[in-house]
Structure 1
Amino acid sequence: MDSSGGLRWRRLGSLKPIQTKKGAGKSYKKAEEDEQPLSPSARLFHEPDFNVHVTAIMGGDSPICPRLIKDNLVLSIQKHPRFSSLHVTDAKTGEMKWVRTKVDIEKHVLLRDITPLDLEQFGSPEKILEEYVYNLTKSSLDKSKPLWELHILNLESSEIGRTGGFGIFRIHHSLGDGTSLMSLLLACTRQVDDPEKLPTIPGQDKNKKKILESATTNRSTPGIKLFGMIWECVKRIWFLVELMWNTLVDVVMFGATTFFLKDTDTPIKALPGSEFRPRRIVFRVVSLDDMKLIKNVMKMTINDVALGVTQAGLSRYLNRRYAEEKGHDNGATEKNNNLPKNIRLRSTLLINLRPSPGIQALADMMEKDTEAKWGNWIGFVLLPFKIELRDDPLDYVREAKSTIDRKKRSLEAVYTFSISELVLKFLGIKASSALSHKIITRTTMCFSNLVGPQEEIGFYGHKISYLASGSYGQPHALMINYQSYASKMSVVLSVDESVIPDPHQLLDDIQESLQLIKDAAIAAS
């Protein structure tokens, strides 16, 4: 523990210099193949006002063995082009490139043992973890080495009768988007019940669905077939018309936001410079089965439910904050509450348009040196949140589904990506960064939902109890991320405490909203 009360860590092993010489190591090909330019989106994440880092927390019931992790992780990481490369700026052209280097695992895996003194000061291992991550967000990754780290916190305390370990990945966002980074993490894991198998991700079997639809059509009479073909043609024409209209409206809204359209100044709206302040990252593990129950009763998706629960939780939280500001409480019902009318509150979604390689492709890439697409290719989607109190909790998820269905029928992400590319090409990276920063600061928050494995997994022999992914460095004062894992769902908040001083209260509101919506769904079934 340092004098300021912060948590210190110690490095594992000696610090050896990283090799940056072209062609270093027999495993690398010729220098021309080792150097690749950064994508425009990756370059964006190196701008001072967009220096975003991803954090992925793994919780376990037993201490983590650093030697076992290092010996296995280095074998996978050194085969990965992004995790084994430096960012180098060409002195003549100013172009940033990925340059392969030899990974010194001792510089990337960091150990911190939790002591009885830590427990006495902070009260619980979870609070120690929270403070440790908070201190991490005060700094950026060292650019003299590949931009990732794994921090290990181990607890062995007979005083409280508990043992356990936490693994905290800190990764620069220029290495890839959340889905790609999660795929890489999962490619380093195996199923607990079958250690030879990779974890699996939930997904629809679209081919099977098409086969069943085709079989049904083939059994129909000629008249029914003709009617079906006409109806399909009408639906496709209507879909294209709706797609073009929605896209036009979304692009106009994007332009309006760029020049003048701002969200309402609510108590959770970021203050200037929020991206430079440290972040409090907290999370709550809830039941994924509860969310599936709501999904099945309402005939929706997990994403619909997550958005609905978030809208409900934010509405409850803001209703309380407005009551505190006014000095009196008007209640918490649909008719009597403290919320202003017509609050404009939007989330900025960063959508990676590059096809996701998936767990299997990344596993093959790391184990067999095969090719797989990687990186950031990002467009914006502006997702409106309805901040209102509802007497019927199911209204929150109905409205969420309507919002998401509308956004699915739009090419907003493709067009905003194209606009950003044009700005970058003709005006440069500074102008592109300024455009992105302006869009984000005129919205309120960031919302995401990462799909995790369906089975319990082990990270090089260490069973994982939960996963919780977040980030810091974004201009928003609030980021909410949902992370599924087996039968659990982690709700992760990354907040600027100068704006949101009570993030655990917001977690309480989200959890209570989930319970109310679940109870209403059961009653309606």
Structure 2
Amino acid sequence: GLEATLARHPRFCSVQVMDELEEDATPKWVRTTVDLDDHVIVPDLEPTGTSADPDRALENYVSSLSTLPMDHSRPLWELHVLDFPTSDAAAALVLRVHHSVGDGVSLLSLFIACTRRAADQDALPELPTTGAARRAGPVYALPSRPWHPPSSWGALAALAAWVVSLLLLAWHTVVDVLCFSATATSMLRDPPTLFKGAEGVEFRPKRFVNRTLSLDDVKYVKNTMNCTVNDVLLGVTSAVLSRFYFRKTGESGRKSIKVRSTLLVNLRKTPGLHALATMMESGKDNGAEWGNRLGYMILPFHIAMHDDDPLEYVRKATKVARRKKSSMESVFTYWSASMIMKIFGIKVLICSTARVYWSF
């Protein structure tokens, strides 16, 4: 159960404490006793609302959570049990976690490590390893190959290609850093569109709307277009935003619209399931990295109408994604945020990050 898994994790059984005697003190994690009754919540919802439109009831409940602050006197996580059927499931679990506990990549790995196989209740699940091998290391890493003295034109061509890729990496990084700096200083802004939030939008209720996609369909497009699943999903997002924009505004589909967003990038090796399971069993870190270690990229979206060829969205998305992978922008944003945090503190970091988002 939760007592033997999630509640034993160091971050899930600790609270943040500030040393009031130090002027520039930073919060520290201090172990405390976890009372599951404070964290497992079964809301008392109106049966008429959940039976009439269960999907809407689920969206309304999650939206209401976005306006409620978390209790910092206890570990910063909650598990909400919504015991009514929706169009996608027989029931729903809403796990609410403060962002200081960890980033999404760490949390997803942790949740998988909390599960066990249906056939063997003591065995951890196995992640699929079939398919093309994924490149190890951060997104910006060049493939590491042992260098040998060139003995043929093929070796010279390979060496030349590596040098060119290194130069492109440096050039793309410089361009992206300049664009990021211009965005952070409000010198580069997106034009006003219906996607741009009004002032104070961060304090308004948020509604999380989901749609279920067939993974088989996504993989079919991926294999046909010779790209990645993320490329397909990015293309789908561009298509949805395009249709929504031109339907709402009534403008011509040939008009070019500039819309940018941020894409979070994991900059550390994700801990293995066995390492996380051991961490929860022992209640100690065991050397596994945790917390937030994310950089982000400024990602442009292709907003246009391609009714004659919808796959053009995927082609455009693949081109943008491959260009962004040939850059160290995410490393720069993580490094700059870390330096601002250490030198000026959390308040200045929040203001500088907000200026980036205000430019979109």
C-alpha separation in 2, matches of 1:253 and 1:246:
11
Q: CA deviation at 1:295?
A: 0.4
TM-score, normalised via structure 2 length: 0.87
Aligned AA (1:191)? R
Query: 1:310 pairs with 237, 254, 259, which one?
Result: 237
SS of equivalent residue, structure 2 residue 300? strand
User: What is the 5 A alignment of 1:68-217?
Assistant: 72-93=1-22, 94-112=25-43, 116-119=47-50, 123-155=52-84, 164-202=90-128
Change over 3 Å in CA distance of 1:278–1:297 after alignment to 2: same
Query: 2:330 pairs with 413, 421, 433, which one?
Result: 413
Change over 3 Å in CA distance of 1:84–1:340 after alignment to 2: farther
Percent same amino acid at aligned positions? 42
Q: CA deviation at 1:274?
A: 1.1
1:112–1:152 Cα contact (<8 Å) kept: yes
Q: CA deviation at 1:416?
A: 1.6
Q: Do structure 1's residue 400 and structure 2's residue 307 form an aligned pair?
A: no
Change over 3 Å in CA distance of 1:368–1:421 after alignment to 2: closer
Q: Which residue of 2 aligns with 1:301?
A: 228
1:354–1:376 Cα contact (<8 Å) kept: no
SS of equivalent residue, structure 1 residue 151? strand
Q: Which residue of 2 aligns with 1:379?
A: 295
C-alpha separation in 1, matches of 2:348 and 2:171:
29
SS of equivalent residue, structure 1 residue 385? strand
SS of equivalent residue, structure 1 residue 239? helix
- Unaligned residue ranges in structure 2 (runs of 5+): 137-148
Q: Which residue of 1 aligns with 2:354?
A: 437
C-alpha separation in 2, matches of 1:232 and 1:169:
49
Query: 1:354 pairs with 264, 268, 274, which one?
Result: 268
Change over 3 Å in CA distance of 1:279–1:293 after alignment to 2: same
Q: CA deviation at 1:183?
A: 1.1
SS of equivalent residue, structure 1 residue 141? coil
C-alpha separation in 1, matches of 2:50 and 2:190:
42
- Per-residue CA deviations over 1:158-190 (Å, capped at 9, x if unaligned) read xx9x99321110001111111111111111112
Change over 3 Å in CA distance of 1:248–1:292 after alignment to 2: same
TM-score, normalised via structure 1 length: 0.61
Q: Which residue of 1 aligns with 2:192?
A: 265
Aligned AA (2:161)? K
SS of equivalent residue, structure 1 residue 283? coil
SS of equivalent residue, structure 2 residue 95? strand
Q: Which residue of 2 aligns with 1:37?
A: none
Query: 1:279 pairs with 206, 210, 221, which one?
Result: 206
1:258–1:435 Cα contact (<8 Å) kept: yes
Aligned AA (1:263)? D
Q: Which residue of 2 aligns with 1:236?
A: 162
SS of equivalent residue, structure 1 residue 179? helix
Q: CA deviation at 1:199?
A: 3.0
2:50–2:84 Cα contact (<8 Å) kept: no
Aligned AA (1:367)? E
Aligned AA (2:102)? G
Query: 1:424 pairs with 341, 344, 348, which one?
Result: 341
C-alpha separation in 1, matches of 2:135 and 2:19:
51
C-alpha separation in 1, matches of 2:228 and 2:128:
12
SS of equivalent residue, structure 1 residue 338? coil
C-alpha separation in 2, matches of 1:209 and 1:148:
33
1:346–1:384 Cα contact (<8 Å) kept: yes
Q: CA deviation at 1:207?
A: 7.4
1:175–1:375 Cα contact (<8 Å) kept: yes
SS of equivalent residue, structure 1 residue 280? coil
SS of equivalent residue, structure 1 residue 78? helix
Q: CA deviation at 1:225?
A: 6.3
- Per-residue CA deviations over 1:325-345 (Å, capped at 9, x if unaligned) read xxxxxxxxxxxx535833221
Q: Which residue of 2 aligns with 1:254?
A: 180
C-alpha separation in 1, matches of 2:248 and 2:231:
26
Change over 3 Å in CA distance of 1:192–1:242 after alignment to 2: same
Q: CA deviation at 1:204?
A: 6.8
Query: 1:365 pairs with 275, 279, 283, which one?
Result: 279
1:114–1:155 Cα contact (<8 Å) kept: no
SS of equivalent residue, structure 1 residue 90? coil
SS of equivalent residue, structure 1 residue 281? coil
C-alpha separation in 2, matches of 1:84 and 1:400:
41
- Per-residue CA deviations over 1:82-123 (Å, capped at 9, x if unaligned) read 111101111022311111111111100011355533346xx1
Q: CA deviation at 1:380?
A: 2.4
Is 257-266 or 288-297 further displaced after alignment? 257-266
Q: Which residue of 1 aligns with 2:217?
A: 290
Change over 3 Å in CA distance of 1:367–1:273 after alignment to 2: same
User: What is the 5 A alignment of 1:15-94?
Assistant: 72-93=1-22, 94=25
Q: CA deviation at 1:418?
A: 1.8
Query: In the comparison of the two structures, how many residue pairs are matched?
Result: 342
C-alpha separation in 1, matches of 2:321 and 2:132:
20
More strand by share: 1
SS of equivalent residue, structure 1 residue 191? coil
Q: CA deviation at 1:196?
A: 4.0
The RMSD of aligned alpha carbons is: 2.7
1:379–1:416 Cα contact (<8 Å) kept: yes
- Unaligned residue ranges in structure 1 (runs of 5+): 1-71, 211-222, 324-336, 444-525
